[in-house]
Structure 1
Amino acid sequence: MFFLASKGYRCIAHDRRGHGRSSQPWNGNEMDTYADDLLVLFETLNLKDVTMVGHSTGGGEVIRFCARHGTSRVKKAVLISAVPPVMVKKDSNPLGLPIEVFDSFRENMLKDRSQFFFDVPSGPFFGFNRPGAKVSQGLIQSWWLQGMMCGFKNAYDCVKAFSETDFTEDMKGLDIPVLLLHGDDDQVVPIDAAAKAGVKLLKKGTLKIYPGGPHALPNICEDEVNKDLLEFLES
C-alpha cells in the first residue's frame, strides 16, 4: 500500500469484522457477511473504478463481493495466494486439503491460541521452514500480534470461511480482468487446487506463478509483487 500510494494511487485497507481494529461480533464470520460489510464500506466512501486486491482469505472476499454485489464499482481484481475456488478436499475438488488439516487448526487454536499464532508464521506461512530461508523474527512477531488482536470466535470461525466456502460459480460469472499471483511453494494454499484451477474458471483471468514463492508473497517477494500490481493498475 505504501508503494502504490507513493505512486499516486488512493489505497484503502479495511479490517474485516473481528480483525484488526474492527469490533468482534459473535456472528457473521462467514463470506457472505464479509462481502456485505465491504459493500457498506464501498457505499459509505462512494468508491468507484476500484481495483480490489485480496491476499489469501481476502481473495475469497473479493470474489464473493463481486458475485454477490456486482462489479459496477469494480474494474479489476487481484488475487494473491488466494483461497478460491475452494480449499477443502471433496469429490469435486480432489486436489484440495483434507478437512483434518483445518480441524487441526481449530484444535490447536483452542488448545493454545498464542502458540498457534507463533507456529504458523515460524513455518509454512512465510516459508521459514524451508532450507536456507532468511527468517525474520519481526515478521513472525507481527503475524502473532495480528492474530492475537483478532476476536477468538472470529478467528476460529474464519477457518471454516476460508477453507470450506466454494467460489466456483462466483468465479465463472466474473466479467472483469483478474490477475492471480501465486507461489508454487505455497504450503498454506497449494497452487494446484487454487490459482491453477481458478484461472480456468475466469473469463478474463491471468496467472503469474512465482517460482519458489511462499504463501506470504507480499512480504517475501514484495518488490516483484509491487511491480506486478503497478503494471496491472496501469494496463
Structure 2
Amino acid sequence: MMRTRTPAHPKSAPALGGPPPGRSGGGAPSRVSAMRRRRQLPYLLLGLLLVLGCAAGGVVAGTQLGDREAVLVLAHPVGVGQELSAKDVREVSVSADSGLTPIRADALSSVEGRPFAYSLPAGAVLTREALGKAQVPPDGQAVAAVGLEDGQFPAAVKPGNQVLVVIAPENETGTGADGETSSPSSHSATVTDVRAKDSKQTTVISLQLPADQAQQVAAAPQGQVSVVVVPGGGQ
C-alpha cells in the first residue's frame, strides 16, 4: 500500500521591500540620520562664526560713529568781510581726529555776525581762523580802489559782495580809432571795503581780483567804471 507524503510547510518568504533577514528594520535610517548630522555640523559652525563677526563689526562701527562730531561748513561761497549768518552754513558729521579745528555746530551762536577774513568756496569747513580781520590779498590777488559816483554802483553794496566791474570803452560810440567796434570789458571781483568821502559825491570801493585784472581796473579813467552786484556771496 502506497503512503502519501504530506509536503512540509515552506518557510515564510520575506515580504517584498522589507529588510533582509537577520537585520533590524531601523538600521539603515539610523545611519542616514547620523550622516546628515555630521554634514550639518560645519554649516552650524560657519553660521556661528558669521554671527560673531557681525557682532564684532557692529561694535567697531558703533565706536567709529561715537568719535564723530557735527561741525559747520559753508553752504555757498562767501566773500572777505562778509558777516557770518546762519544761512551761510550747514551741519556735517566729521571724524573727531581729522586734524582740523572746525567750529562745532552747537557753537554757531558764538561766532554769528563775525566777518570772514578770507573769501571761501562752498563746502569749506568753517574754522575760527577763517573769521576776523580781513586778510587780503592772498597770493595772485590784488586790491584795486575805484571812485564811483551815484548811479555807478548799487546803493546797498557792502564788503563781501561778489561783483562785476564793468569798464566802458573810451569812445562813447564804442568805435575804436581803427573803426572796429569796442565792447565793455568786465572782471569778477569781491568787495573788501566801501567808504564814502566827506562830500558824499564819490564813494571809494575796494575790490579784490586777480592781480593783472586789478591793474586794468585801477588804470581805467574815472567815470568809465561801474560795479554790478551778482549772486555768489554777501547777499
When the two structures are superposed, what TM-score results if normalisation uses the length of structure 1? Answer: 0.21
Greater fraction strand: 2
Larger radius of gyration: 2
Structure with the greater relative contact order (CA < 8 A, sep ≥ 6): 1 or 2? Answer: 1
Task: Determine which structure has the larger helix proportion and give its number.
Answer: 1
Q: State the TM-score, normalized to the length of structure 2.
A: 0.21
